[in-house]
Amino acid sequence: MPGRLLERALGKWRDTATSGVDDADDAMQTTVITSRTAASACGRPRARDGARNATIVRTNPPGSAANRGRQGVARRGDDARTRAIAVDDTNSSSSMTSSMDAVRGCAVGDALRVRLPGETRASYLEVEATSANRAHGAFRGVDAVLEVCEETNRVLLSEIVDANFGKDGKRKSTRLLRETFTRSYDGLTTTLEMLRRSGEYPAPGFSGAIECEEVSRLCSLEELRARVSEDASFWADGSPKDFQGLSADEHATLNAGEILAFQCGCRPMCMVQLWTGWEDDLGRRQSIDMPFVARLLKEITEDDEIGIITVVPPGASEKLGITALLYPRKSPYKERAKLLASFGAQAAIVAGSAYYQTLIGRCLGYKEENIDAHVKQYNKGVGVSKQISDLVEEELAALSAVPASKRWRDGFAVATASNDKSRSRRKKKSNRASSNFEDVEMMFGRRGRSK
């Protein structure tokens, strides 16, 4: 099972069936890491250890049997009338005419939903070039093309193999390996090359063209950027107590929306899972292949006000997992990012420790009531106690005397061809943080929203 890779890296492992997360029958896997005295090593009182005993909880991945029924109907936020993104509502259409129209009518910068035979969830093609009957772009880490076949009135998906494969039929490069921005995320390029050699990522090439079950338009990056700029609360405040999960479209754009919210100054930090090595179907379900994520990670590397730390799971290699911590290059944010990196925070791992749930929630700028709701969700209805709240506040205050503000900058505008504002790329020293298992109390990541 997927968790066994994580088991080998973290040590003790046990499977439990836990209720009260979303459905009573959701199976959850739990790893307990004894409080190992990162506090003692720093000379802090042992009285805190009880609050810091940590449990890592991995919930069912999106699209698993327990979660498939929720996609497409969930809402997030207090106002159920408002969707996070307004998308073309063609998801339910089985008409191949709609699929052909989606390909013919798309534009560069659009993300297209692509559902293949035998798959219950859509994947996404990010359009980079178009012609009358074709759309070319990124699809699951490869160069691919959607083409309307006039003879059959079907939409075909095929991988462009000329630039990707050698004469021996093996991949000689990948899209992300050709991107220079990946070098700014320490450990990512090495991992991608290792995965290319092993054939794990990207997934093996298609055998000829595949007839798509359905193709439809999701949105464009600029549409998503405009919505985040107008109201970033969906991507910046955390999940409220009445949160029921994400729709398929909200899940697809969650990472991009969170990066955009951070980029425009509406949240003080962002965590992105660059690689998840403990799940099944590695080549098809990576966050970095979701719409607009790679483009935004590239924009981040060109922004001199933003720092990047890459983090691997404690005691493990990059092949198991890599998370990018994105933070403002000033106090108190840079100190807080180093704190998260010190215990091997992974964006796709959810913690069961109320102390660390509160600590990370505050570092990421979530609303207090939403942090409390999250703590209750994973601690049998028990919210943030005054003791936990005070300990977290003391910990953060000790990092820097500079007070944190949820909005860390204003007036940010992305450089585009239309405004012709360029940013120079700067050389960066190594920004990888590693954590020693002997000094790790826990790992923490996203709050279980990727259901």
The tens digit of pLDDT for each residue in 210-247 reads 999 999 999 999 999 999 999 999 999 999 998 888 99
Cβ pair 123, 290 in contact under 8 A: no
In a domain, 136, yes or no: no
In a domain, 119, yes or no: no
Q: Which amino acid belongs to residue 179?
A: E
pLDDT at 67: 39
In a domain, 104, yes or no: no
Q: What's this model's pTM, rounded to 2 decimal places?
A: 0.76
- Lookup: tokens for 50: 């009880």
Q: Give the H/E segment covering residue 32.
A: strand 27-33
- Residue 172's pLDDT band, with cuts at 50, 70 and 90, is confident
Residue 306 belongs to domain spanning: 3-81+178-439
Contacts of 428 (CB under 8 A, 6+ apart): 184, 308
- Residue 439's pLDDT band, with cuts at 50, 70 and 90, is very low
Q: Is the pLDDT of residue 391 over 80?
A: yes
Residues comprising the chain, all counted: 451
In a domain, 19, yes or no: yes
Contacts of 208 (CB under 8 A, 6+ apart): 158
In a domain, 15, yes or no: yes
In a domain, 230, yes or no: yes
- Residue 279's pLDDT band, with cuts at 50, 70 and 90, is confident
DSSP state of 60: P
In a domain, 120, yes or no: no
- Look at 371 and 9; give whichever has higher pLDDT: 371
Average pLDDT over residues 28-44: 31
DSSP state of 151: T
Range from 25-34, 226-235, 307-316, 360-369 carrying the lowest mean pLDDT: 25-34
Give backbone dihedrals phi and psi of 375, rounded to 5 degrees, phi first.
Answer: -60, -40
Q: Is the pLDDT of residue 64 over 60?
A: no
DSSP state of 57: E
| Number of domains observed in the structure of the chain | 1
Could you tell me what percent of the chain has a pLDDT over 90?
A: 51
In a domain, 42, yes or no: yes
- Lookup: tokens for 251: 């899940």
Q: Give the pLDDT confidence of 118-139 residue by residue, as tens digits.
A: 888 899 999 999 998 999 999 9
Rounded Cα gap, residues 143 and 126, in angstroms: 10
